[in-house]
Chains A and B, each alone.
Chain A
Amino acid sequence: MIEGVKRTGTNEWEVPVGYIPGMRVPGRFFLSESLGSMLEPGAIQQLANVATMPGILKNSLGMPDIHWGYGFPIGGVAAFSLDEGVISPGGVGFDINCGVRLLTTPLGRKDVAGQGSLIDELFRAVPTGVGAKSSSLKGSAKSLEGMMIKGARWAVENGFGVSRDLARCEEGGCMKEADSSTVSTKAKQRGIPQGGTLGSGNHFLEIQIVSEIYDTSAAKAFGLSEGQVCCMIHCGSRGLGHQVCTDHLKVLEAAMRKYHITLPDRQLACAPLTSPEGKAYFGAMAASANYAWANRQMITHTAREIFSRRFGIAYEEMPLVYDVAHNVAKFEIHTVDGKQTEVCVHRKGATRAFGPGAPDLPSDLAAIGQPVIIPGSMGTSSYVLRGTDVAMERTFGSTCHGAGRVMSRSQAKKRLSGKEVAADLARQGIIVRAPHENAIADEAPDVYKPSDEVVGVVHDVGISRLVARLTPIGVIKG
């Protein structure tokens, strides 16, 4: 393990105050011994940097998929007090509300045998990759305003879903604090033509089979059964969110001087939650988060239409299990010093994992806990877990968000051929479609940590519990 880091439990580690100057609280992260061997010192430096931010509460937290990012580490979680705390785009990222959702179908493995043509049809229908523009919506200033203010509800009201979908989204698919007046004209220009597009990088749409059930009653409540075909969608707020981050980062960087805040990384640029600059970023970030929920809802609609037509199933027979955000800051109630307190939780590459009885859960899931969707890489399993009371107590109701990379994109392109990776996956029964073979090499299973080990740690620590495992049979990449 990295020097200066203390072991505090089987899968728990502490970065003590004093690891770097100015830390206000300890860093704490959850990692197995073997995942620890892949940990980069840069990620721990970033975890410590976050601990220097004004108003941080309890700990600067790292989930087991922690890795080196910018500003916060990826897999980083921190909560800030409302009166002394700050908000930072570096704790959210450029892809605001990058997130993931899971849909079930009434189909089994045999129904989708020879899935190549299904994957081809999905690839043609969902715009992917660099330069992708919406095919399902002629975007306008009015539609954009709807997406930013109403989020997934706008999409449902405009025929891209059913009202039940909303109850199955974190936050109901809409942050009420959205303020489109703090979203720049440039960001709006970028957002108008991109509704319903996947983007590139690690974004995907994947067809999966439920291959193992760990928790029968939770799986039943989530609508999951062994052998079932599912559809997972991973994407975010596209150019709109990227521009909002860029614009407000500049404003908050300048505001740091005004508020006498000094931090070790300029990407942690922040302002007090009570300041006009902090409020403006929060409003624009919430508008971007809403756009992302509408975006995933539109892609969901395209997938449902294709499945309905090809397999003769009703649109409603593809219910949403849940939709979670990976990159977001939210006002939530958590226990601090024994008192229920409203705080601002930043999750950067981390997933909300609310336990049983928490607010914002649909009533039929209140006794189970929030569904947590953890995507794997193209060739490895994805998982469904449930949120727990332990997460509420220890991680501000948060858990990991994915496998986490171990190999850079440049190394991946040097070492791996996209064609060979696709051929290898095809031999395993996984069909991959992408705009270019580089996108396949970039995201090959070998560039990620083993997803089973990452979810094994969160399960063992208890910040979420395993419900089901899903294996891929077809992927479209951006």
Chain B
Amino acid sequence: MSFEELSHTADVRIRVRAPTLDMLFADAFAALMETIFGKDRKGGCRKDLHIEAADTETLLMDFLSEVLFVCEVEGLVFSSASVTIDGKSLAAVLDGEPFDRVRHSEGTEVKGISYSGLAVTRDENGYMLDILFDV
């Protein structure tokens, strides 16, 4: 898992690096979960997601926005994700557990995923992504 928090005064800005696009998305997902729920997250409960979008950035936006929705409406907190991207479609298997007020109150609510500064880039080392979560 590879993500770091960059400086941003109002919100949470994350940089992710990964050797593959699938792992880049999975790490961005992990960063989102840690921002909201903290580090104490367990597995045991499976959720499948399928997303289609016109470009890579929108695919990521839609994936993470769907995760926000599922967490809130189904009361779930996820520990990991296995992501498979095929062109304009994404399949993800999420592993998580029911929300626990005691263990999962370490973070802060993410209101949305912003397009501002959102860019997925690729070089010889793999992929890199900067993304902003509105908190």
Contact = CB atoms under 8 A, between A and B. Distances in A.
Contacts of B61: 250
B113 A246 contact: yes
Given A74-B10, A410-B7, 5 more contacts: A70-B114, A71-B116, A130-B109, A253-B115, A265-B117
B56 interface: no
Contact of B134 (A67, A94, A250, A438): A94
B60 to A, nearest CB: 12
A442 B72 CA distance: 22
Contact of A243 (B10, B57, B69, B117): B69
Interface string A418-451: 0000000000000000011011001000000000
Contacts of A249: 112, 115
9 contacts: A71-B115, A129-B109, A131-B72, A239-B72, A242-B68, A242-B111, A245-B112, A254-B54, A267-B115
Contact of A94 (B37, B69, B112, B118): B112
Interface centre among B5, B105, B118, by most A CB within 10 Å?
B105
B132 interface: yes
Interface of B: 5, 7-12, 36-38, 54, 57-58, 61-62, 65, 68-69, 72-73, 75, 99, 101, 104-109, 111-118, 132, 134-135
Interface in A381-438: 405-411, 435-436, 438
Looking at chain A's contact residues, the main secondary structure is: mixed
B112 A408 contact: no
A68 interface: yes
Contacts of B112: 94, 242, 245-246, 249
A186 B114 CA distance: 19
Nearest to A478: B109
Nearest to B99: A131
Interface footprint category on A: 35 or more
A363 to B, nearest CB: 37
B36 A266 contact: no
B108 A189 contact: no
B77 to A, nearest CB: 9
A165 interface: no
Interface string A327-345: 0000000000000000000
A265 B75 CA distance: 33
Contact of B109 (A74, A201, A410): A201
A438 B38 CA distance: 10
B114 A438 contact: no
Nearest to A200: B109
B5 A436 contact: no
B5 A410 contact: yes
A199 interface: yes
A410 B12 contact: yes
A291 B10 CA distance: 24
A436 B68 CA distance: 21
Contacts of A267: 114-116
A266 B115 CA distance: 6
Nearest to A437: B106
A200 to B, nearest CB: 4
Given A94-B134, A438-B107, A131 B115 contact: no
Interface centre among A70, A190, A265, by most B CB within 10 Å?
A70
Interface string A196-211: 0001110000000000
A269 interface: yes
A130 B113 contact: no
A67 B10 contact: yes
B7 to A, nearest CB: 5
Contacts of A410: 5, 7, 12
Contacts of A93: 111, 134
